[in-house]
Structure 1
Amino acid sequence: MKILALDTTSGACSVALHCDGHTSEQFVRAERDHTRRILPMIDQVLGEAGVSLSQLDALAVGRGPGSFTGLRIAISCTQGLAFAADKPVLPVSSLAALAAGVRREQPHWDAAPIVAALDARMQQVYWGVYTADAPNASLWPEAVQDPQQMAQRLAQSSLPTPVYGAGAGWHYPELAQVPVAEVLVEAEIHARDIAELALPLWQSGAAVAAEDLEPLYLRDEVAWQKRQKIRSK
């Protein structure tokens, strides 16, 4: 099984190749430099493995939520490659990938729930809750909320303890009192974790055609819902 994975949903830019059980990755922190870096990184990862686009089974990409600009870069690059090679695409939640990466790097967190949170700017947070049993799906729908709303939701929850936190969204002071055992604010999204999460999606038949690939912004969805409510009054 050969899957090429891309991610530019945040300040980092990463490319990974899962090739028959082995995963290699290129990762750089490249704020505002994704466009220049992504294609050379793809060439390097494929070249080092001796794999061509035509030999891939599928491409995987961090579908969001995340930076609007970063998501457009990753989605458009993935679509272009998938069209060129006539390959399907596996969209992976960027929040799920963040949680999976932290679980990989922090084995002592074991199977505990991880609250992955990205800074959505404008005093809001993208977040979801992930377990080892279902790493691709948040226990609650992924959301964009004010930090205070997120804190209240977690304080009122009945999640099994301990609970851990990961991601830059945790920097807001309102989240300091949330009952979590440990928080890694510096945690980042890695394409290698997108590739690993793509494997069960492939097995379950979740691949989509390149033309059907769409980013998940969340904030756009919230704005649309608000407009619909206003129009219905």
Structure 2
Amino acid sequence: MTVLLALDSSTEVMAIALSSPAGEFHFEAEGGPQASVRLLPETQALLAQAGLRLGDVDAIAFGRGPGAFTGLRAACAVVQGLAFGVGKPVLAIDSLMLVAEDARQQAAAQGQALSGLVWVAMDARMGEIYAAAFRVPAPTGPLLEVQPAALYKPAALAELLDAQTEDFALAGSALALFAEALAAPEGGRPRRVWPQTHSRARALAALARQAWAQGGAMDAALAMPVYVRDKVAQTTQERLDARAAQATAGRP
């Protein structure tokens, strides 16, 4: 059986997954600034739990983005170092597709089927959203990208969603943060929503297997994060202006 190791730190949750003959092993913990420190020791601990060494792994997958700038760089750097060290290929995993896969797994666990078009909307900070659309077969089968990842203002994404001509589901952290902006229009068709991720590690493992089966393995030298945004932080004045605007909006 193929042994696949997968790491993702594109969000505030750090996820590691290992598919092996002994079963599937998962680890999740706080990510963010902790990811660069914890990814390597936690990966080694997960391998030890499965009774494996890094050299037993056939390929190493990583969440390529879009997502947190520092987290993406941390995962890519760790995966490249590990892959170069044992001469193994890598697998690039779309971090937004991971959320769509998790929604499908949540639906299956509830005895439901999630299929068709799924839009993923993730908080990108600075009042913006990372979004992409995927075609999801149920209950199994590879997910297909329909709309590539892009960066949107909430109003722009809402306009795009309202213009869709087919039913779709929504998943991702932006649904709670921008609930009013992304709600279905009055009188419109109801949307199935999955605002919270259940297990990024389990979804990561599934997508790693999918990438391997589709021949997605590549040389570690080609492993690069995907940055949808060029600007990764606001200036002090921009933060002050944003707070002032929020305060003004909250006044009666």
TM-score (norm 1): 0.86
Cα distance 1:41–1:104, how it changes in 2: closer, same or farther (>3 A)?
same
Task: Say whether residues 1:71 and 2:72 are aligned partners.
Answer: yes
Indicate conservation of the 8 Å contact 2:16/2:28, yes or no: yes
Structure 2 portions without partners, runs of 5+ = 232-252
Larger displacement relative to structure 2 (206-215 or 175-184): 175-184
Measure how far apart 1:54 and its partner are: 0.6
Indicate conservation of the 8 Å contact 2:18/2:24, yes or no: yes
Indicate conservation of the 8 Å contact 1:92/1:136, yes or no: no
- Looking at structure 2, the residues matched to 205 and 90 of structure 1 have their Cα atoms a distance apart, in angstroms, of 9
Structure 1 portions without partners, runs of 5+ = 222-233
Indicate conservation of the 8 Å contact 1:94/1:189, yes or no: no
Measured against aligned partners, the alpha-carbon deviations of 1:78-112 in whole angstroms (never above 9, x if no partner) come to 11101111110000100001110121022224214
Task: Say whether residues 1:166 and 2:171 are aligned partners.
Answer: yes
Indicate conservation of the 8 Å contact 1:127/1:142, yes or no: yes
Cα distance 1:143–1:189, how it changes in 2: closer, same or farther (>3 A)?
farther
Measured against aligned partners, the alpha-carbon deviations of 1:152-209 in whole angstroms (never above 9, x if no partner) come to 11111122x2x22211122213212355523232226613322211223222222111
Partner residue of 2:21? Answer: 20
> Whose Rg is larger?
2
Q: Tell me which amino acid in the other structure corresponds to 1:38.
A: L
Q: Tell me which amino acid in the other structure corresponds to 2:223.
A: L
Measure how far apart 1:137 and its partner are: 3.0
Partner residue of 2:129? Answer: 125
Q: What is the RMSD of the two structures over their aligned residues, measured on CA atoms?
A: 2.0
Cα distance 1:109–1:149, how it changes in 2: closer, same or farther (>3 A)?
farther
Give % identity.
32
- Looking at structure 2, the residues matched to 84 and 32 of structure 1 have their Cα atoms a distance apart, in angstroms, of 24
Alignment of 1:129-208 (within 5 A): 129-133=133-137, 135-159=142-166, 161=167, 163-170=168-175, 171-172=177-178, 173-177=180-184, 180-187=190-197, 190-208=200-218
Indicate conservation of the 8 Å contact 1:103/1:109, yes or no: yes
Figure out how many residues of one structure are paired with residues of the other and give that number: 219
Indicate conservation of the 8 Å contact 2:184/2:191, yes or no: no
SS in 1 for 2:147: coil
Task: Say whether residues 1:100 and 2:101 are aligned partners.
Answer: yes
- Looking at structure 1, the residues matched to 56 and 35 of structure 2 have their Cα atoms a distance apart, in angstroms, of 25
Partner residue of 1:231? Answer: none
Measure how far apart 1:135 and its partner are: 4.4
- Looking at structure 2, the residues matched to 82 and 191 of structure 1 have their Cα atoms a distance apart, in angstroms, of 20
- Looking at structure 2, the residues matched to 198 and 31 of structure 1 have their Cα atoms a distance apart, in angstroms, of 22
